[in-house]
Amino acid sequence: MTLQDATPAFADRLAETLPSDTLRIPDARYLEEPRGRFFGGGGVLALPRSTEEVAAIVKACAKAKVPVVPYGGGTGLVGGQVKPEGPAPVVLSLERMNRIRAVYPLENVLVADAGAILAEIQAAAAAEDRLFPLSLGSEGSARIGGNLSSNAGGLNVLRYGNTRDLCLGLEAVLPNGDIWHGLTRLRKDNTGYDLRNLLVGAEGTLGVITAAALKLFPRPRSVGTAILQVTDPEAALRLLALVRDQVGESVSAFELLSAQGMAFVADTLPDVRLPFDVPPAWSVLIELGMQSGADAALEALFEAALDAGLVSDGLIAQSETQRADFWRLREHVPIANKKVGSVASHDISLPLGALPAFIAEADAKVAQFGPLRINCFGHLGDGNLHYNVFPPKGGDRHDYDNVRHSVSDAVYDLVHSYGGSFSAEHGVGRLKVAALQKYGDPARLAAMRAIKAALDPAGIMNPGAVL
């Protein structure tokens, strides 16, 4: 069915049903994404304050066949928050719906509007001596509705899971404007199809999440953090097994860092303190969260890893300042990458056992395209690598525009051959629609299209994203 522009006449009709300051012309920030690869159009920016107002907007758009692009914090990296082609949409931002509705510390549950900023949810949980473990570099501006819609990952997936695993219930507006009242705090509800898990990760293509009931956890009383030098990714993988054997599920994060990543930080962000005078070829950042004895456990792990020949050196944080420095390095690697300017970036996941062989083979394949630099880093503990390719020192990424897609094809083909995923935590958005078509299972794609057609027959919800 043909979609229509969100024209001034449509905006005038819609405005009659809403508070006077709900609609306006979208600012530039609502029409671009962080990597600058997509620039959207938008006829109307809608800023509702309630679920009922969201429902009224979506219902009007469904009736008029006007597309809707849900907008969270705008931090997504695959272009899902902008619509560069086709009829001008209503950009639906939930930034005014930002309340923490309730915290239930005895239940370990927090209920929040979809527009609540992730860092503020973390703070609200901490105020009740609880932990909301989702942690991202963009947590100061990312909003929980967007996190849920993209099933965001982050630093603590190894222990706590993706955003999907942290959600108990949702309130949402479906594509016809109906409100789904699924904001349950239940841990068990075995009553048919799970609409919650259908909407989580759908990137706004099946409805608009307006609120969520989120899982909280006890706060670890003892946190230990270390950076350990390893000889290669195989040693890092064996170290992960050793860590889990010794401390079980107390390991919260296990991050792989490369010398190239540290060099990028040193070159572009000189104020960030590096842990080693000479960046090691490979190192891992480990964090344990326990009720007591985390530092002692790290010391025992370090000794065992030395004896096993898995590590050659390392540092265990001796203060909160040093711990913050370790994490500041990790969190600034993506910032340094952006300053250098990548030829191609890849958010991928693989079976853990395949990671060392994949890295070696991928490096060889990328080398065929020229003297490119590779920064391979990320969440080794859950198999998620950020395998990013850069021009040689002194070069410009645009000098390699002619091979950018070929580099990505080579990387994704290899990922697929190892049984991995071309999108580990960033989603599909608009950037990876073709990749999903190429690598996706045909039966799964057919089921996805059938679900989309059933819930959104007019195709108004974030058209062009995912499918």
pLDDT in tens, 261-314: 999 999 999 999 999 999 999 999 999 999 999 999 999 999 999 999 999 999
Q: Which pTM value belongs to this model? A: 0.94
The whole-angstrom separation of Cα 190 and Cα 7 is 44
Pair 133, 217: CB distance under 8 Å: yes
* 339 pLDDT higher than 80: yes
The whole-angstrom separation of Cα 158 and Cα 422 is 19
Q: How confident is the model at residue 1, as a pLDDT? A: 62
* 35 pLDDT higher than 90: no
User: What does the pLDDT average to over 47-59?
Assistant: 98
Pair 225, 285: CB distance under 8 Å: yes
Enumerate residues 6+ apart whose C-beta is below 8 A from 132.
Answer: 110, 121, 122, 124, 125, 166, 214, 215, 216, 217
Residue 372 CB coordination number (10 Å): 21
278 class by beta-carbon count within 10 Å (0-12 exposed, 13-18 middle, 19+ buried): exposed
Residues paired with 45 in a beta bridge = 24, 91
* 196 pLDDT higher than 80: yes
Q: How confident is the model at residue 34, as a pLDDT? A: 85
Enumerate residues 6+ apart whose C-beta is below 8 A from 395.
Answer: none
User: What does the pLDDT average to over 374-403?
Assistant: 96
* 252 pLDDT higher than 80: yes
User: What does the pLDDT average to over 109-128?
Assistant: 98
**Angle separating helix axes 401-417 and 355-367, nearest 10 degrees:** 150
User: What does the pLDDT average to over 237-255?
Assistant: 96
* 320 pLDDT higher than 90: yes
pLDDT in tens, 341-358: 999 999 999 999 999 999
* 368 pLDDT higher than 80: yes
According to DSSP, the β-strands at 68-71 and 23-24 are unpaired
User: What does the pLDDT average to over 362-368?
Assistant: 98
178 class by beta-carbon count within 10 Å (0-12 exposed, 13-18 middle, 19+ buried): middle
User: What does the pLDDT average to over 416-437?
Assistant: 96
Q: How confident is the model at residue 38, as a pLDDT? A: 84
Q: Which helix (H) or strand (E) holds 148?
A: helix 144-149
342 class by beta-carbon count within 10 Å (0-12 exposed, 13-18 middle, 19+ buried): buried
For the ranges 32-46, 147-161, 221-235, 429-443, the lowest mean pLDDT is seen at 32-46
User: What does the pLDDT average to over 321-325?
Assistant: 96
* 421 — pLDDT class (breaks 50, 70, 90): very high
Phi-psi region of 391 (alpha: psi -120 to 50; beta: other; left: phi over 0): beta
* 100 — pLDDT class (breaks 50, 70, 90): very high
CA angle, 355 as apex, 160 and 80 as ends, to 5°? 60
The whole-angstrom separation of Cα 159 and Cα 217 is 11
The mean pLDDT value of the chain amounts to 96
In one-letter notation, the amino acid at residue 356 is P
Per the structure block, which two tokens stand in for 331? 């969190």
